[in-house]
Structure 1
């Protein structure tokens, strides 16, 4: 190989190394950007999860967002809480036992309870849950692409920054305005109203029976 050819070959090698280094740096930069975006989404999923805790009573049917391990990763998982008074041996216990059922994102908003203490905050809960589901879905779409640093993946992820920003702004505003609720007091008042209605209905039914009996016994 001539000296001129050797120099040309070495220059090409150096150029290739520079290109590889630049690509690696670009890939690293893009991965860091994706991770920052993911952390930002996770932070606002937490805001939404806190609002859901604030908006729903600690009662059967409550839906929460829990961080759970799945396939070696910690991921946000919607769950519905259930109450059972049956122990492991089938013996009824005095205090309720809590368990939860994992839920998917499909029609999650429609699974929110709207009765038995949930009705007063149902509309706000629907609003928050809708935004949380949106963030969870965006997170789910990002995860398979997290190590794919090409331009298409970046466009797919960061092409939706404005909607995510709007969701974050709404959640932060609600977090400032929605108060903490004393659910024990609210639920007690709710049960008292139900008991009053039942007692009134029972009294009315009894009065109707007495009235019917008197009418039947009256001389014609």
Structure 2
């Protein structure tokens, strides 16, 4: 016995909720309009072939079935397909739905996988058809996406700050001499005992040849 479809959900073919379109060869003129291929943004040009809420689907090769979303003028190359929601369906909801669906599993061929408009139109799915519920689901997922993106950008900023501090503390002083607050010490000056006990200290004192290195000032 098949599972009952939740209220507000319906079994349909993707062609009932989306209109699909082909991409075209990317323009050679430069600009600030993103060019999408199967693996996201390939570059920028001064023309567009789609605008408004658009779902981009990787059409061929290793990134076949990958899904992206844009709400601005874009150029979709011939390595991708475009999808536009129809019948009032929420485009952002369908974007998340397609990402979860994993379109790559439907691709034709193994050595050179391919997704076509005909294939996409024929895929049967169980999907929410309640527009208000679609909007609510998309709103929650978009909010989570925004928070994840913010955390990624914060991490990137922290990584850049850490790299700058590392260079200022450990690399630049070695090139330019000792800055104010630094002193030249040997590591033996900072060793009282080793994990092996007092015999370890004795071994270090007998066998260790001191090598000096600049150390930064103490920072509380």
The two structures have a TM-score, normalised by structure 2, of: 0.31
- If each structure's strand is expressed as a fraction of its own residues, which one has the higher value? 2
The two structures have a TM-score, normalised by structure 1, of: 0.31
Larger relative contact order, structure 1 or 2 (CA cutoff 8 Å, min sep 6): 1
